[in-house]
A and B are shown apart, each in its own frame.
Chain A
């Protein structure tokens, strides 16, 4: 027995089942169609610079809106404090007037 010869015979090339090339070509066609749909379809991916710019603009709008919102809230709080101080001042003046009136009698 010659193992080298036996191995060469046992491991000779064999053809795949009939229609193999056609089946591969079908898969290649399907891969092409999928790639074309990804490139030209509605879900196509935009370039990275475009997505980065869009993200920057969105972030700027959100941060700007938040800053305006904070500023308005601050102004409203300031007005409330001033109004409260004004009311308190009126009350104090009224109390002082009452004390003076009592003292004069």
Chain B
């Protein structure tokens, strides 16, 4: 599987930004904003919160720009910091994940369209435990393999596979499919 890589990038943006060029840093933001924003959005299913988190991540990048070694490292760093920030925020605010079995009112809703199914899926994903949410988001938004995801969430690859498997089982059950 091929992971999503950034679109055509101005190869010199990172070194220019590191030397203090603000326009180059703005280019980096524009290049990665959809990825960072979407990771947070799919984690919390809340656009306002996603923007807040994405802004914080880029501000943190601005302060730590000197430690970024390459464009590939930048992409990894952004994915890791965004994912960890989402997980930390969930744990800090003690937003207890509701089990999918408790979210029964959504089960009866029938599929009418792709857009409706998308909303249902995002609502179900929001109710997954935080690590499962992160793994599913990285797997399906970023198209990453478990071997890539395990480096971002700092867990063994088999644990990542197990989280992914359990998350998909839960989603299938909620959607009324056979696992």
Residues of A within 8 A of B175 (CB): 1, 3
- A20 to B172 alpha-carbon distance, docked (Å): 35
On whether the beta carbons of B140 and A16 are closer than 8 Å, the reply is no
On whether the beta carbons of A21 and B121 are closer than 8 Å, the reply is no
Is A17 on the interface with B (CB-CB < 8 A)? Answer: yes
- A11 to B37 alpha-carbon distance, docked (Å): 12
- A1's partner among B54, B59, B125, B177 (CB-CB below 8 A) is B177
Is A25 on the interface with B (CB-CB < 8 A)? Answer: yes
Give the interface segment out of B23-31, B77-85, B101-109, B152-160: B23-31
* Range of interface residues on B (Cβ < 8 Å): 35 or more
Residue ID in chain B nearest A15 by CB atoms: B34
- Known contacts A11-B140, A13-B141, A31-B62; is-contact A20 B35 (Cβ 8 Å): no
Is A101 on the interface with B (CB-CB < 8 A)? Answer: no
Is A6 on the interface with B (CB-CB < 8 A)? Answer: yes
Is B68 on the interface with A (CB-CB < 8 A)? Answer: no
On whether the beta carbons of A10 and B37 are closer than 8 Å, the reply is no
- Known contacts A10-B121, A25-B25; is-contact A15 B140 (Cβ 8 Å): no
Q: How many residues of A contact B (CB 8 A)?
A: 23
Residue ID in chain B nearest A24 by CB atoms: B58
On whether the beta carbons of B34 and A6 are closer than 8 Å, the reply is no
- Known contacts A7-B136, A7-B140; is-contact A21 B29 (Cβ 8 Å): yes
On whether the beta carbons of A10 and B59 are closer than 8 Å, the reply is no
Is B55 on the interface with A (CB-CB < 8 A)? Answer: yes
- A10's partner among B33, B51, B117, B177 (CB-CB below 8 A) is B117
CB distance from B163 to the nearest CB of A (A): 14
Q: Which of B88-140 contact A (CB under 8 A)?
A: 114, 117-118, 121-122, 125, 136-137, 139-140
Sampled A-B contacts (17; CB under 8 Å): A1-B177, A9-B114, A11-B38, A11-B136, A13-B4, A13-B35, A13-B141, A14-B34, A14-B41, A15-B33, A15-B34, A16-B34, A16-B37, A17-B47, A21-B30, A24-B58, A28-B25
Question: What 9 A-B pairs are tightest by C-beta distance, nearest first?
Answer: A16-B37, A10-B118, A10-B121, A7-B140, A11-B141, A21-B29, A13-B38, A11-B140, A13-B34
Chain B residues in the interface with A (C-beta under 8 A): 4, 22, 25-26, 29-30, 33-35, 37-38, 41-42, 47, 50-51, 54-55, 58-59, 62-63, 114, 117-118, 121-122, 125, 136-137, 139-141, 143, 168, 171-172, 175, 177
